[in-house]
Amino acid sequence: MAYDAAAMELFFNPRSVVIVGASRKTGPGSFNILENLLAYGYRGRVYAVNPRASDILGVKCYPRAQDLPEAPDLAVVTVPRELLPEVVRDCCTRGVRLFIFVPQGLGEADEVGAAIQSEVLETLRRHGARAVGPNTLGTINALDGFMSSFMGLTRNADPFPCGLICQTGLFLATDLGQTTSLGKGIDVGNQADIGFPDALRHLAEDPRVKVIAMHMEGLRPGEGRLFLEVAREAVARKPVLVYKTARSATGAEAAGSHTGSLAGSHEVYVAAFEEAGIIQLKDVDDLDDTIKAFVFLPPMRGRRVAILSISGGGGIMAADACDDHGLRLAEFSPETRARLQEMFPSWMTVSNPLDVWPAAIGKEYDPVFATCLDIVAADPNVDALVCIGGSMGGGVDIGDFVVEGARRWGKPVTWWLYGKRAAAIAAEVESSRCVPVYPSADRAVRALGHLATYYLDVLGRRKEAPVRPVGLPRVERGPGLPDAAAGTNGPGLRARRATVRAMGAEAFDLLRSYGIPVARWAVASSPQAAAAAAASLGLPVVVKAVGGNVLHKSELGAVKLGLATPEAVLEAAEDVLRRVAGEGSEVRLLVQEFLPGGQEVILGAKHDPHFGPTVLFGLGGIFTEVLRDVAIGLAPLTTDRAHGLMAKTKGYAVLAGARSRGRSDLEALADTLVRLSWLVADHPEIVELDLNPVKVFAAGQGCVAVDARVLVRSDA
């Protein structure tokens, strides 16, 4: 359904609410939503529906929703699942248009639950009503003072300007981690109606939300492109972070090709997030760390980091972390070095990381550290600072200086504080909301790395739409992007039965029609015809089997290379036919020009159930099969993206001309990838496709596909 800004606003900030199924039990352990809502300080009008109570906590109860004196903006429904359809009908009749469905045991559970969920959705559609959940804690809005959680929560008077979309009650019930808090949060639960795209757009459009975090198990099938569209708009306004879980669950799919097994659901999510500019996080620590960094710190203008440490060893740890997280060590200017050097003993040459201790010998540590900080922070070669301290007491608590300085410098500063009292000192420092404190060098640096990704890579990126190369076949129905409307977990998708078959030699015609270079070929039904075909193609040739059930030709001994005479062709063709005798009556001989040399790469494509057409690139052989060294991108691609994709693989160095190898024709490969990306975008019936291998030759000499495996679906 279309985005409804007013509805989203009311899910977080209703003027009136009814709790349907409000419990009479109150006090600790009763998980009473009504009680929690009142305790949270909600100021709107509150009603309760409970046929067995006259009032709960001073709130008048009505036996049924029809009896309510007004139609409240929002109904929070917490009844056993069997009662849900009737309750929703009652509410809709009374004019309620927004729901939060708390119960579990619906679409996520058994068939009965799924049927109830469908019935409820049907009622919603009929009335133009919308819902969050089921299987949800609903929403929490500390900014305006509303919450629907059955876990009690005290309203945070000064919450982080952070919005969260999650698929667990955990983050809402805890108001995030130990050192972070929520401005607005929504648990989308089963996403029966409201899902990530709507929630993300709402948070993107609320100017009080400065950073958006997501905990995502998965999008609804078919919703990937809509989500990306919303995400692109969101990241242009504020950082969007994601902690994606359920990796193995979504990755375990049956695959009929290399691309199928390498481009699992999780890998496609990763590619899609990256393309949209969403920052990807490793775990909940990363989530908390990064939220804090974006809330506290000013934008990062470059990648050059200065490290000031109470110990030389700590500085080296942070320097290593810079390497890991895409940051560089700043090169101090000559003035900075000269000013610092005056403070240090002559046996020490100052450099970055800076071990401050030698300057403080025989002096007080804090003011020395503060002076060093001021000097370094003023250096125009420094974009961000990492301070390292120990909470050992004895006058080395530099927190005040760091905070005071950070306010003046306008550069991001993170602090790694180690030791027993670190948490207590960190809490005090972080109350300033300008310096985040982390428990390790790696985390202090990683947070800056995410800042650099957002402010430099994502915001600095050129935004170019893919351009359809000239001369491509015209498509009637438009590119094969997944249909967002059809993509819900409704019955429509499942009802269609699909059969998948492999294309034979006609795959080469399809490739050629998109301008993808293919080894010249002919199809023959007999060894004699193969010899004739070889003569017209020109010797030497390759003979292999095509069609039928033939899968891995080399394994069957059904690929004969470098056949230089008519006799050799005859003999090879006879042998190939013998070897594939059991593979079906449709097997034919494929005669190809023989293309020796070159570097073998794999180009693949696949239709992902969430994000639609994708392409894959990797070096052939062990690079892809053993090392899984591949890169995945969403189709269609721009030429830039095609180059970027190739460059992401480790094997790229081989193509780019490592160790006196010549440079391969990367331009031809990029062009082929772009064309392949349009082919798969135009043809939603292509389930998976492998060009394995494509042979790429020296710069200027082009590339050629010599093998193609194309799996197409015909919907019955």
Q: Which residues bind ligand ADP (CB under 6 A)?
A: 519, 542, 544, 552-554, 559, 561, 592, 594-596, 600, 693, 706-707
Between residues 359 and 706, which has the closer beta carbon with respect to ligand ADP? 706
Between residues 52 and 552, which has the closer beta carbon with respect to ligand ADP? 552
CB neighbour list of residue 229: distance below 8 Å, 6 or more residues apart: 197
Smallest gap from Cβ 652 to ligand ADP, in A, equals 20
Between residues 544 and 641, which has the closer beta carbon with respect to ligand ADP? 544
Compute CA 460 distance to the chain's CA centroid, rounded to the nearest angstrom: 19
- If contact means CB under 5 to 8 A according to the sort of partner, which of Mg ion, ligand ADP, none does residue 588 touch? none
Smallest gap from Cβ 617 to Mg ion, in A, equals 16
Q: Which own/partner pairs from 111-116 qualify as long-range (CB within 8 Å, at least 24 positions apart)? A: 112/81, 113/81, 116/81, 116/82, 116/84, 116/85
CB 704 within 8 A of CB 595: yes
Between residues 553 and 606, which has the closer beta carbon with respect to ligand ADP? 553
Kindly state the number of chain residues that form the binding site for Mg ion, as judged by CB under 5 A. 2
Q: CA end-to-end span of the chain, whole Å?
A: 27
Between residues 624 and 692, which has the closer beta carbon with respect to Mg ion? 692
CA-wise closest residue to 614 among 271, 339, 313, 353: 271
Smallest gap from Cβ 500 to Mg ion, in A, equals 19
Between residues 317 and 569, which has the closer beta carbon with respect to ligand ADP? 569
Q: Does 206 bind Mg ion (CB under 5 A)?
A: no
Between residues 12 and 508, which has the closer beta carbon with respect to ligand ADP? 508
Task: Give the one residue of 18, 618, 707, 711 binding Mg ion; rule: CB under 5 A.
Answer: 707
Smallest gap from Cβ 488 to ligand ADP, in A, equals 39
- If contact means CB under 5 to 8 A according to the sort of partner, which of Mg ion, ligand ADP, none does residue 553 touch? ligand ADP
Residues 73, 74, 77, CA angle at the centre, nearest 5°?
Answer: 155
Beta-strand ranges (E) seen in 4-83 are 16-20, 45-49, 55-56, 59-62, 74-77
Smallest gap from Cβ 606 to ligand ADP, in A, equals 18
- If contact means CB under 5 to 8 A according to the sort of partner, which of Mg ion, ligand ADP, none does residue 119 touch? none
Smallest gap from Cβ 707 to Mg ion, in A, equals 4
Smallest gap from Cβ 561 to ligand ADP, in A, equals 5
Q: Does 593 bind Mg ion (CB under 5 A)?
A: no
Between residues 474 and 552, which has the closer beta carbon with respect to Mg ion? 552
- If contact means CB under 5 to 8 A according to the sort of partner, which of Mg ion, ligand ADP, none does residue 561 touch? ligand ADP
DSSP letters for 650-661: TTHHHHTT-TTP
Beta-strand ranges (E) seen in 301-364 are 304-309, 328-329, 354-355
Between residues 157 and 626, which has the closer beta carbon with respect to ligand ADP? 626
d(C-alpha 34, C-alpha 145), whole Å: 14
d(C-alpha 259, C-alpha 400), whole Å: 55
d(C-alpha 678, C-alpha 514), whole Å: 8
Smallest gap from Cβ 709 to ligand ADP, in A, equals 8
CB neighbour list of residue 32: distance below 8 Å, 6 or more residues apart: 22, 23, 25, 26, 56, 150
- Closest residue (Cβ) to Mg ion? 707
Phi, psi of 141 (to 5 degrees): -135, 90
Tokens 């909301």: give the residue: 433
CB 137 within 8 A of CB 169: yes
Q: Does 692 bind Mg ion (CB under 5 A)?
A: yes
User: Which stretch in 259-267, 290-298, 581-589, 700-708 sits in contact with Mg ion by CB under 5 A?
Assistant: 700-708
CB 697 within 8 A of CB 601: no
Give the other-Cβ count within 10 Å of 626's Cβ. 8
Gyration radius of the chain over CA positions: 31
Between residues 397 and 707, which has the closer beta carbon with respect to Mg ion? 707
- If contact means CB under 5 to 8 A according to the sort of partner, which of ligand ADP, Mg ion, none does residue 595 touch? ligand ADP
User: Which stretch in 381-389, 408-416, 459-467, 703-711 sits in contact with Mg ion by CB under 5 A?
Assistant: 703-711
d(C-alpha 460, C-alpha 478), whole Å: 31
- If contact means CB under 5 to 8 A according to the sort of partner, which of ligand ADP, Mg ion, none does residue 544 touch? ligand ADP
Smallest gap from Cβ 703 to ligand ADP, in A, equals 13
Site string for Mg ion, 645-684 (x = CB under 5 A): ----------------------------------------
DSSP letters for 663-702: PB-HHHHHHHHHHHHHHHHH-TTEEEEEEEEEEE-BTTS-
Residues lying near Mg ion in the complex (CB under 5 A) are found at 692, 707
